Chain A
Amino acid sequence: MSHDAHHAPVASKLELAPERSDLGLYRPDRTRGLLDWLTTVDHKKIGVLYGAFAMLYFLIGGLEALAIRTQLARPDQTFVTARMYNQLFTMHGTTMIFLGVMPLSAAFFNFLVPLQIGARDVAFPRLNAFSLWAFVFGAFVLNASWLFEFGHLAGWFDGFAWHQALTYTDFAPANGWFSYAPLSGTFGQANAALQAPRFTGVGTDFWIIGIQILGVASLAASFNFICTIINMRAKGMTMMRLPVFTWMTLVTSFLIILAFPAITVALIELMFDRQFGANFFNPSAGGQPVLWQHLFWIFGHPEVYILVLPAMGIVSEILPTFSGKALFGYPIIVFSGAVIGFLGFAVWSHHMFTTGLGPVPTAAFALLTMAIAVPTGVKIFNWLGTIWGGRIRFTPPMVLALGFIWMFMCGGFSGVMHSAAPADSQQQDSYFVIAHFHYVLLGGVLLGLMAGLYFWFPKIFGRMPNATVAYVASGLVILGFNLAFGPMHYLGLAGQPRRTHTYHAGNGWEDWNFVATVGAFILGIGVFMAFANLVYTAFKGPKCSSDPWDGRTLEWSLPSPVPEYNFAQSPVVSARDAFTEHKHGTKRIAYEADGGEAGVHMPSQSWMPMLAAGGFLFIGFGMPMMAMGIPHAGWIVVSGVAVLFAGIWFWALEGPGGYMLKTPAVSPTPAGTPAASTSAH
Chain B
Amino acid sequence: MSQDAAHHAPTSTGIDHKKLIMWLFLASDCMFFGTLISTHLLYRKLYPTGFTDAEGHQQFVQKLFNIELTSFSTFILLMSSFLMALAVSAMHKGQLKSFRRNVVGVIFFGLIFLGCQVYEFTHFYHQGLTIQNSVLGSTFYVLTGTHGTHVAIGILWLVMLYFYSFTGKLGGHVGALDVEVAGLYWHFVDIVWIIIFTAVYLVEYLGPSGIWGNGLPVLAK
Point out residues on A near B: beta carbons under 8 Å.
1, 22, 41, 120-127, 189-190, 194, 196, 219, 222-224, 226-227, 230-233, 237, 257-262, 264-266, 268-269, 272-273, 276-280, 285-288, 291, 295, 298, 601-604, 648-649, 651-652, 656-658
Least distance between B4 CB and chain A CB atoms (Å) = 4
Which residues of chain A are near B28, meaning CB under 8 Å? 219, 223, 257-258, 260-261
Q: With the chains together, A286 CA to B137 CA distance in Å? A: 12
Contact A258–B27 (Cβ < 8 Å) = yes
Kindly supply a per-residue 1/0 record for chain B positions 112-127, scoring 1 wherever the CB is within 8 Å of any chain A CB and 0 otherwise. 0000000000000000
Contact B13–A231 (Cβ < 8 Å) = yes
Using CB atoms, name the residue of chain B closest to A226.
Answer: B24
Kindly supply a per-residue 1/0 record for chain B positions 127-151, scoring 1 wherever the CB is within 8 Å of any chain A CB and 0 otherwise. 0000111110111001000100000
Contact A224–B21 (Cβ < 8 Å) = yes
Given known A288-B46, A291-B39, contact A258–B31 (CB-CB < 8 A)? yes
Which residues of chain A are near B4, meaning CB under 8 Å? 41, 121, 124-126, 603-604, 656-658
Contact A277–B134 (Cβ < 8 Å) = no
Least distance between B174 CB and chain A CB atoms (Å) = 8
Which residues of chain A are near B13, meaning CB under 8 Å? 230-231
Least distance between B102 CB and chain A CB atoms (Å) = 21
Given known A230-B20, A261-B31, A652-B160, contact A285–B6 (CB-CB < 8 A)? no
Least distance between A519 CB and chain B CB atoms (Å) = 40
Which residues of chain B are near A260, meaning CB under 8 Å? 28
Which residues of chain A are near B9, meaning CB under 8 Å? 232
What are 27 inter-chain pairs, A to B, with CB distance below 8 A? Answer: A123-B21, A124-B3, A125-B2, A222-B24, A223-B28, A226-B21, A227-B20, A231-B13, A231-B17, A232-B11, A257-B27, A258-B27, A258-B28, A265-B35, A268-B142, A269-B39, A272-B131, A272-B138, A276-B132, A279-B135, A280-B139, A286-B46, A286-B47, A288-B46, A601-B8, A603-B4, A651-B1
Which residues of chain B are near A601, meaning CB under 8 Å? 5, 8
Least distance between B33 CB and chain A CB atoms (Å) = 8
Point out residues on B near A: beta carbons under 8 Å.
1-9, 11-13, 15, 17, 20-21, 24-25, 27-29, 31-32, 34-36, 39, 42-43, 46-47, 131-135, 137-139, 142, 146, 160, 169, 174
Which residues of chain A are near B21, meaning CB under 8 Å? 123-124, 223-224, 226-227
Contact A124–B2 (Cβ < 8 Å) = yes
Least distance between A226 CB and chain B CB atoms (Å) = 6
> Which of the residues B8, B31, B131 comes within 8 Å of A277, measured between beta carbons?
B131
Which residues of chain A are near B25, meaning CB under 8 Å? 223, 257
Q: With the chains together, A194 CA to B5 CA distance in Å? A: 48
Contact A272–B142 (Cβ < 8 Å) = yes
Which residues of chain A are near B46, meaning CB under 8 Å? 286, 288
Q: With the chains together, A287 CA to B138 CA distance in Å? A: 10
Q: With the chains together, A286 CA to B135 CA distance in Å? A: 7
> Which of the residues A41, A233, A273, A656 comes within 8 Å of B3, measured between beta carbons?
A656
Least distance between A383 CB and chain B CB atoms (Å) = 29
Which residues of chain B are near A261, meaning CB under 8 Å? 28-29, 31-32, 34-35
Least distance between A626 CB and chain B CB atoms (Å) = 16
Which residues of chain B are near A262, meaning CB under 8 Å? 31, 35
Q: With the chains together, A562 CA to B21 CA distance in Å? A: 27
Q: With the chains together, A658 CA to B8 CA distance in Å? A: 11
Contact B134–A279 (Cβ < 8 Å) = yes
Contact A231–B20 (Cβ < 8 Å) = yes
Contact A22–B169 (Cβ < 8 Å) = yes
Least distance between A208 CB and chain B CB atoms (Å) = 14
Contact A120–B5 (Cβ < 8 Å) = yes
Which residues of chain A are near B5, meaning CB under 8 Å? 120-123, 125, 601-603, 656, 658
Contact A280–B138 (Cβ < 8 Å) = yes
Q: With the chains together, A1 CA to B2 CA distance in Å? A: 12
Which residues of chain A are near B2, meaning CB under 8 Å? 124-127, 651-652, 656
Contact A291–B132 (Cβ < 8 Å) = no
Most chain A CB atoms below 10 A, which of B2, B8, B131: B2
Given known A231-B15, A269-B142, A603-B5, contact A286–B134 (CB-CB < 8 A)? yes
Most chain B CB atoms below 10 A, which of A226, A230, A231: A231
Using CB atoms, name the residue of chain A closest to B28.
Answer: A257
Q: With the chains together, A603 CA to B133 CA distance in Å? A: 52
Q: With the chains together, A298 CA to B12 CA distance in Å? A: 33
Contact A231–B24 (Cβ < 8 Å) = no
Least distance between B27 CB and chain A CB atoms (Å) = 6
Using CB atoms, name the residue of chain B closest to A273.
Answer: B138
Contact B35–A266 (Cβ < 8 Å) = yes
Q: With the chains together, A268 CA to B35 CA distance in Å? A: 11
Contact A278–B24 (Cβ < 8 Å) = no
Q: With the chains together, A122 CA to B13 CA distance in Å? A: 15
Which residues of chain B are near A222, meaning CB under 8 Å? 24
Q: With the chains together, A123 CA to B133 CA distance in Å? A: 47
Closest 9 interchain pairs by CB? A261-B32, A278-B138, A261-B31, A231-B11, A265-B35, A277-B132, A603-B4, A257-B28, A656-B4
Which residues of chain A are near B11, meaning CB under 8 Å? 231-232
Using CB atoms, name the residue of chain A closest to B47.
Answer: A286
Least distance between A349 CB and chain B CB atoms (Å) = 15
Least distance between B82 CB and chain A CB atoms (Å) = 26
Which residues of chain B are near A278, meaning CB under 8 Å? 131-132, 137-138, 142
Which residues of chain B are near A649, meaning CB under 8 Å? 160
Using CB atoms, name the residue of chain B closest to A253.
Answer: B24
Least distance between A593 CB and chain B CB atoms (Å) = 13
Least distance between A643 CB and chain B CB atoms (Å) = 16
Using CB atoms, name the residue of chain A closest to B8.
Answer: A601
Which residues of chain A are near B39, meaning CB under 8 Å? 265, 269, 280, 291, 295
Least distance between B23 CB and chain A CB atoms (Å) = 10
Contact A233–B1 (Cβ < 8 Å) = no
Q: With the chains together, A232 CA to B3 CA distance in Å? A: 12
Q: With the chains together, A122 CA to B169 CA distance in Å? A: 25
Contact B17–A124 (Cβ < 8 Å) = yes
Which residues of chain B are near A231, meaning CB under 8 Å? 6, 11-13, 15, 17, 20
Which residues of chain A are near B1, meaning CB under 8 Å? 648, 651-652
Q: With the chains together, A262 CA to B25 CA distance in Å? A: 14
Contact A264–B32 (Cβ < 8 Å) = yes
Using CB atoms, name the residue of chain A closest to B17.
Answer: A123
Given known A124-B4, A125-B4, A261-B31, contact A285–B17 (CB-CB < 8 A)? no
Least distance between B45 CB and chain A CB atoms (Å) = 11
Contact B15–A265 (Cβ < 8 Å) = no
Using CB atoms, name the residue of chain A closest to B156.
Answer: A645
Least distance between A212 CB and chain B CB atoms (Å) = 13
